[in-house]
Structure 1
Amino acid sequence: MFQSQPIADRIGRFIREKSALSRLIVINIAVWLVINLVGVIAYLFQTADHPLEELWLFRIQQWFAVPAGIDQWFLKPWTTITYMFLHIDFWHLFFNMLWFYWFGKIFLQFLSNRKMIEVYLIGGIAGAFTFMLAFNFFPAFSASLGHAMALGASASVLAIVVATAVMVPDYIISLLFIGPVKIKYIALITIGLDILMLKSNNAGGHFAHLGGALAGLLYILASRSGKFSFSRWLGTFKIPAFFRRSRVKKVYSSPKPMTDEEYNSRKAQNQKRIDSILDKIAQSGYKSLTEEEKEFLFKFSNK
């Protein structure tokens, strides 16, 4: 009788993959654990006159969550990055990481670890600035401009969700109680709900989500056009070893340089073939690809 692998073994194997997905999830969980373990210690030593836990959580958000006020942001611009790894509430972390895992696994079937890191960071940055711009532009938020803050990986995760949905819109996943659903519908419903929730108490978070979603869309469209490459733009940025798999070094002889005409012709041929493979995936699923097509897609995605 078939027995599923114990969840502890599956988690261990996932962590040992050393993919961008597993590393980003580990970082988010580790940050949450440290914050809350220190919070437990602060709680145990607090008194009625010295609410240490409340003070600790306030300071963490004050220094690492992104503020709505642009004048405050200029004093701590690092929050543009740190906020996307910061969670205080367990369920906020849980659902963000669950969405990230589901769509991140699909994302990595077609694109590289580096591109996942790029989308995660660009989505988070776009979410931060969308949040700030909205709170400084719309009069409805003027009263809370001085103290509103955004935190969490939601914008980054929505960037991954939308990027994946744009890349393979007809990819089907099975949802509990619903059944098979194309991921493009999941992305559209999520964006629609974020728009409807802009009048809620968490309007800032929903603006950040929309900023991340837009970044994910633009990333894939720009990558497809070939006119702008985020990888080339961020070429001087080296991925930390924490995110990289160890590779065997290979030595290659220097080939004859291609002319501009040869380069453009080969690039157009490769893009045409990639589009054909993605169409095949959309119609029949990833399993319908031949081994040669899978290898070509893998090599192309790691460029």
Structure 2
Amino acid sequence: MGESDRYQDYKRTTTRRFTIGQPGNALFALFAINIVFFFLILISRVFYLYSHQGIGEQAPVFDAIEWFGVPSNLTALSERPWTLITFMFSQGGLQGFQLMLTMLSTMLWLWAFGYILQDLSGNKYIFPIYIYASWLGAVVFMLVMYLVPPLRQYSYNGFLFGAQTGTAGLAVAVTTLSPQYRIFRNIGNGIPVWILTALFLLINFIYAFSLTNANSFAILGGALAGFLYVLQLRRGKDAGAWMLNLYDWITNLFNPDKKVPQRNPVKEKVFYNTGNRKPFNKVPNVTQQRIDEILDKISLQGYHFLTDEEKNILKRASEEDL
């Protein structure tokens, strides 16, 4: 076992994991948003049925998901642009027990893959991957509805909704990051995460081969987005950085404790110019935070992307048994 492998196992067993109620837990926030939208749609349906009691068959057909799901028709989309955000958190289209069962299974898959991604890379990439996967899935959904002949006749009343598309992005991103990551390690050598991903994709787009379910193609689009996101990360490009910057800007907009950048760096005020002379050799301290940062880099890009300094830190940490 190499240095990076030993420390990956050390990190999983000793690092404090995110708890459900912990501030900044992106996975829990994503999970909570889906639950809130689910009950919002459910309550609106119950309220509508209650308000139309006694009307009988004269009551118009109503399903709130039409106001939350993204329509396949571009004209309808232009009238409901907010659906580009709400559709990825909304679940509907079914009735009673079937709706509850679908929602439960979707949230279990979301939590499973989100938890693994959180374990591998923390909170940073959960929302960006989920959103990008949902958007690319929506684009594929519209294209399929317009271009596939059996589906073209439904292009004026089709809707895409649910967390399956975003979850597919998380699943493939996790598998691309660490295909040999294992779950249920107490069962033999554990189950590789790629098997879990394959099972999820098979269940969710099994009807795609009949060309009668555009949602299945949307899930394929979401899966592609997860793969492309990690591929860009390994090239040193974070496509979700602007989302995180926007979030930080909004949260700090009215924060009196936010840090104001200094115009003159401290080193210009305190230190003098020594020319080419080096008064001492810089030896970086080996801290747990530094080790975690290096392990995160290994998870995203691989051990061979480490600098000589980072490899030396891992070697020193291994020798000092930190």
Match of 2:265 in 1: 254
Alignment length (residue pairs): 254
From 287, 294, 298, the equivalent of 1:275 is 298
Match of 1:108 in 2: 118
Q: Does 2:52 correspond to 1:46? A: yes
Q: Which has the larger radius of gyration?
A: 2
Match of 1:216 in 2: 226
Question: Against the structure 1 CA distance between its residues 179 and 150, is the aligned structure 2 distance closer, same or farther, given a 3 Å change threshold?
Answer: farther
Q: Deviations over 1:121-172 (max 9, x none)?
A: 1111111111111111111201211111111011111111111111111011
Question: Against the structure 1 CA distance between its residues 190 and 145, is the aligned structure 2 distance closer, same or farther, given a 3 Å change threshold?
Answer: same
CA contact under 8 A between 1:106 and 1:164: conserved in structure 2? yes
Q: Alignment partner of 1:113: what SS?
A: coil
Q: Alignment partner of 2:246: what SS?
A: coil
Q: Alignment partner of 1:14: what SS?
A: coil
Q: Deviations over 1:207-236 (max 9, x none)?
A: 11111110000000001111x321445465
Q: Does 2:186 correspond to 1:180? A: no
CA contact under 8 A between 1:92 and 1:152: conserved in structure 2? no
- TM-score normalised over the length of structure 2: 0.66
* Percent of aligned pairs sharing the same letter: 24
Question: Against the structure 1 CA distance between its residues 290 and 250, is the aligned structure 2 distance closer, same or farther, given a 3 Å change threshold?
Answer: farther
Match of 2:40 in 1: 34
Superposition CA RMSD, Å:
3.9
Question: Against the structure 1 CA distance between its residues 128 and 44, is the aligned structure 2 distance closer, same or farther, given a 3 Å change threshold?
Answer: same
Match of 1:15 in 2: 21
Q: Deviations over 1:67-122 (max 9, x none)?
A: 11223222222212110111122222211111111111111122242321111111
Question: Against the structure 1 CA distance between its residues 103 and 178, is the aligned structure 2 distance closer, same or farther, given a 3 Å change threshold?
Answer: farther
CA contact under 8 A between 1:42 and 1:52: conserved in structure 2? no
- Residue 237 of structure 1 aligns to which amino acid in structure 2? L
Question: Against the structure 1 CA distance between its residues 43 and 52, is the aligned structure 2 distance closer, same or farther, given a 3 Å change threshold?
Answer: farther
Q: Does 2:155 correspond to 1:145? A: yes
Match of 1:225 in 2: 235
More helix by share: 1
Question: Against the structure 1 CA distance between its residues 147 and 277, is the aligned structure 2 distance closer, same or farther, given a 3 Å change threshold?
Answer: closer
CA contact under 8 A between 1:43 and 1:51: conserved in structure 2? no
- TM-score normalised over the length of structure 1: 0.70
